[in-house]
Amino acid sequence: MEKFTYRDVQEAYERIRAYVPETPLVESFYLGDEDQQYFFKMESLQRTKSFKIRGALNKMLTLTEVEKAKGVATVSSGNHGSSVSYAATLLEIEKAKIIVPETTPKSKTDKIEYFGAEVLRLGKDYDEAHTLGMAYIDAYYDDPKIYIGQGTIAIELLAQNPEIDTIVVPIGGGGLITGIAVTAKAINPAVRIVGVQTEACPAMIKAYEENVCYEEYPSKPTYCDALIGGVGRLSYEMLRDYVDDLIEVSEETIAKAVSFMIKEEKFVAEAGSCTTIAAVMDFKERIGGENIALVISVGNIDGEVITEILSKK
């Protein structure tokens, strides 16, 4: 399987920077103390409210004119689908199709359509995505261009604050943390990379414990709908060489972290993104570091989830 290097990420950064604004690195008002400072890397403030625009754009900017003319397709009912839709609009790719389950809420399909793509409801049969005659934009499984695009976050982050010694990243399929880890370690090999998963679906943790690439993994009920499912093959093969620790956090603490971000820090972030804050709440000493960056990857939290979490005592 094709892997990637820091040089690839540098090239991607130059490729996408005209389309993707630099997101702020904001110091927390409440998490730090005299020994430790915490900073939020606010990818939730992207136009699509998700880091995934980086990988989608990097892939789509490398398509040939013939491929662009044929159009792009992907399978996603969430952040990746919205990002591919938005990227297609930015690059003036006229044909973009996003395949979603039949049960996808209208609020999600409305957002995909808002950015310009056509939504196809195909139940659980996603094979058609590969037979539409269009360029397939993978979410995280094995396309290095997606991982490379996500890695550009680390270039920004370490330029914004070269004193960062620890980066904490949520893990779903693994594309985000793998891209960041490869990049950050190249810039500063001493930087610690800590990955976080919900206890409802610790797919990467179990994959490494059991030496099995879990492309699918069962999930318990969770607030972190973006972090369920299996891990990408490329992430499974690469991440082990770069990550320093993997932490599993409880759903209870994740809910507290979402509430903390809204009530105290005045930021709205998806529950999966708030796993990084939950890790600080429960494993501060284990994370360590003096200048710690917490990647807030997505801001598309469902309104009903916010209501449920804020109503908890």
Classified as helix, coil or strand, 266 is coil
Indicate the burial class of 239 (C-beta count within 10 angstroms; 0-12, 13-18, 19 or more): buried
Average pLDDT of the segment spanning 242-259: 98
1 in a structural domain: no
pLDDT for the residue numbered 294: 98
Residues 25 and 42 in one domain: yes
Global confidence as pTM: 0.95
- Find all residues with CB under 8 Å of 254, minimum gap 6, and list them: 198, 223, 224, 271, 274, 275, 278
Sign of the CA dihedral running 199, 30, 48, 135? negative
pLDDT given for residue 76 in this prediction: 86
Residue 72 included in any domain = yes
Pair 116, 73 in one domain: yes
At 128, the pLDDT band (50, 70, 90 cuts) reads low
pLDDT tens string 216-240: 999 999 999 889 999 999 999 999 9
pLDDT digits (tens, 9 = 90+) for 191-204: 999 999 999 999 99
Q: Are residues 158 and 22 in the same domain?
A: yes
Give a yes or no: residue 167 inside a domain: yes
Do residues 226 and 287 share a domain?
Answer: yes
Is a pLDDT exceeding 70 seen at residue 292? yes
Round to whole Å and give the CA distance between 267 and 202. Answer: 26
Say how far apart CA 94 and CA 114 lie, in whole Å.
14
Mean pLDDT of 9-20: 97
pLDDT in tens, 142-151: 999 999 999 9
Does one domain contain both 125 and 34? Answer: no
Phi, psi angles (nearest 5°) of residue 277: -70, -40
> pLDDT (tens digit, 9 = 90+) per residue, 33-73?
999 999 999 999 999 999 999 999 999 999 999 999 999 99
34 and 165 together in one domain: yes
Whether residues 60 and 30 share a domain: the answer is no
- Same structural domain for residues 126 and 148? no
CATH number at residue 90: 3.40.50.1100
One domain for residues 33 and 161: yes
Domain count, the chain: 2
Give which of 166, 167, 165, 178 is closest to 204, Cα–Cα: 178
Is the pLDDT at 266 greater than 70? The verdict is: yes
- Mean pLDDT across the stretch 17-26? 97
Whether residue 177 sits in one domain with residue 263: yes
Structural domain of residue 13, as residue ranges? 6-50+144-310
- Shared domain for 178 and 281, answered yes or no, is yes
